[in-house]
Amino acid sequence: MPERITESVLNAPSTVEGRHWERLDDGRFQCNVCPRFCRLHEGQRGPCFVRAAGPNGIVLTSYGRSSGFCVDPIEKKPLNHFLPGSPVLSFGTAGCNLTCKFCQNWDMSKSREMDTLADAASPETLVRAATGIGCRSVAFTYNDPVIFLEYAVDVAVACREAGIKRVAVSAGYVTPPARQEFFSEIDAVNIDLKAFTEDFYHSICGGHLEPVLETLLYLVHETPVWTEITTLLIPGENDSDEGLNNMRGWIAENLGPSVLLHFSAFHPDWKMPDHPPTPHATLIRARAIAQGHGLHNVYLGNVHDAEGSSTYCAGCGARLVERDWYQLGDWGLDAHGRCLKCGEEMAGVIDGPPGTWGRRRLPVRLKDFEPGGRKHNQPIDRSAALRTPTRRRTP
């Protein structure tokens, strides 16, 4: 049963007219942003929490509102082949269109309190903050940006006009029309592929597998968006040899061997506190299975494992980028992203030497960059943000 929404929320400045919806014959409004296709009477909101039915159609109730802004290493998204070592201004809102029982960001994605959205920023303020801090990119993350599409797209357009790259972290659970609009303004994405069975998606995530696979096919074959994939391995749920073989086989056959794959360690959270953390041996086994299917770039996440986190040349096997969690070490690439030993190009978006942001995490007050804020009029060095990196799809 959809929740009711108060009149004060519908009339708030953060509520704007939505896109991708239709009026049904029975008077309800159908939201067409994600495959849930929520059918809502006026005053009801969908399970994502932030999209609702107003008097004239579907509205977004979280425009310009955020659960917080922070500068992260790009490797935390995780993106290992997109401007390595660079800082990214990251933010999310509240709510989610999936109901994953293992959610690692449940305090934001499962929030039903508008107080979670304590910070606010216009697209222009976000651009000023990113350039003022020296970020090469802005990331929509922490919860799925698909559900705040109108805000995310406006921010992405403002970033593009300022020469700032746009990054999304998403489950890929989106309809084709909304998918096309959203990803047309994105430079790099990490898609969270939860598992490779319909039963897992249905019983644990409250969704379906096929729309996610369609999103991956679309991104890799129909767009220039740099795409990496993450799977959080949960003991006893999605870590069997059969499941891993099926998933990696599909990726190798349908997306190609150069698509990046991350295996991340689960820690007990949200509605799965009784499940144990992912053993390191499980991650190593999953990486070996993926490599056995011919995938070139398979990484381990949420653990200290320099071998499983580093990048190796697809040509000669030399280590190209040394990593330990989010920290970069030795660098074996030239300025054009080629192996110093054999000249093989590394798949990715590489622009000269690596950044030096490291593993730092820096909270940001966006109010400082608004008109009248203490950093609004400070000189801004746009040179780093305005450089255009060389884009490479495959080695």
> Digits of tens for pLDDT over the chain (395 positions)?
577 777 777 778 889 999 999 999 999 999 999 999 999 999 999 999 999 999 999 999 999 988 789 999 999 999 999 999 999 999 988 889 999 988 876 555 454 544 445 567 899 999 999 999 999 999 999 899 999 999 999 999 999 999 999 999 999 999 999 999 999 999 999 999 999 999 999 999 999 999 999 999 999 999 999 999 999 999 999 999 999 999 999 999 999 998 999 999 998 877 788 889 999 999 999 999 999 999 989 999 999 999 999 999 999 999 999 999 899 999 999 988 999 999 999 999 998 789 999 999 999 988 888 876 666 555 444 344 334 444 444 43
Rounded CA-CA distance 384/107 in Å is 34
Residues 29 and 155 in one domain: no
Rounded CA-CA distance 309/335 in Å is 22
Q: Is 392 contained in some domain?
A: no
Beta strands 260-265; 226-233: pairing state: parallel
* pLDDT at residue 310 in the model: 97
pTM, two decimal places: 0.92
Q: Evaluate whether 366 touches 69 at the Cβ level (below 8 Å).
A: yes
Residues 18 and 153 in one domain: no
Residues 103 and 33 in one domain: no
Residues 206 and 273 in one domain: yes
Residue 215: left (phi > 0), alpha (psi -120 to 50), or beta? alpha
CA dihedral 386, 167, 128, 378 (to 10 degrees): -70
* pLDDT at residue 375 in the model: 65
* pLDDT at residue 387 in the model: 40
Rounded CA-CA distance 47/289 in Å is 36
Residue where one domain finishes, among candidates 41, 60, 79? 60
Structure tokens at 229: 């994939």
Q: Evaluate whether 201 touches 165 at the Cβ level (below 8 Å).
A: no
Number of domains in the chain: 2
Residue where one domain finishes, among candidates 45, 60, 75? 60
The single-letter code of the amino acid at 95 is G
Q: Is 370 contained in some domain?
A: no
Specify the CATH number for the domain of residue 206: 3.20.20.70
Spacing of C-alpha 200 from chain mean position: 21
* pLDDT at residue 107 in the model: 58
**Start-to-end Cα distance in the chain:** 49
Residues 162 and 256 in one domain: yes
3-state secondary structure of 5: coil
The single-letter code of the amino acid at 179 is R
Rounded CA-CA distance 208/307 in Å is 34
Residue where one domain finishes, among candidates 23, 43, 60? 60
- Structural domain for 177, as ranges: 65-363
Q: What are phi and psi of 61, to 5 degrees?
A: -100, 5
Sheet holding 298-301, edge to edge: 298-301, 260-265, 226-233, 188-192, 165-170, 137-140, 87-92, 68-73, 362-364
* pLDDT at residue 377 in the model: 54
Sheet holding 3-4, edge to edge: 3-4, 44-45, 51-54, 57-60, 16-17
Q: Is 385 contained in some domain?
A: no
Rounded CA-CA distance 100/37 in Å is 18
3-state secondary structure of 122: coil
Residue 150 burial (CB count, 10 A): 19
Q: Is 271 contained in some domain?
A: yes
Beta-carbon contacts of 355 under 8 Å, excluding residues fewer than 6 positions away, are 74, 83, 84, 85, 86, 87, 136
Residues 51 and 107 in one domain: no
Question: CA 309, 256, 289 angle in degrees (round to 5)?
Answer: 50
Residues 163 and 179 in one domain: yes
Residues 324 and 289 in one domain: yes
Residues 215 and 231 in one domain: yes
* DSSP label at residue 355: P
Question: Position of tokens 């801004």?
Answer: 380
Residues 137 and 168 in one domain: yes
Q: Is 393 contained in some domain?
A: no
Residues 7 and 80 in one domain: no
* pLDDT at residue 390 in the model: 45
3-state secondary structure of 302: coil
Residues 23 and 48 in one domain: yes
Structure tokens at 372: 């009248």
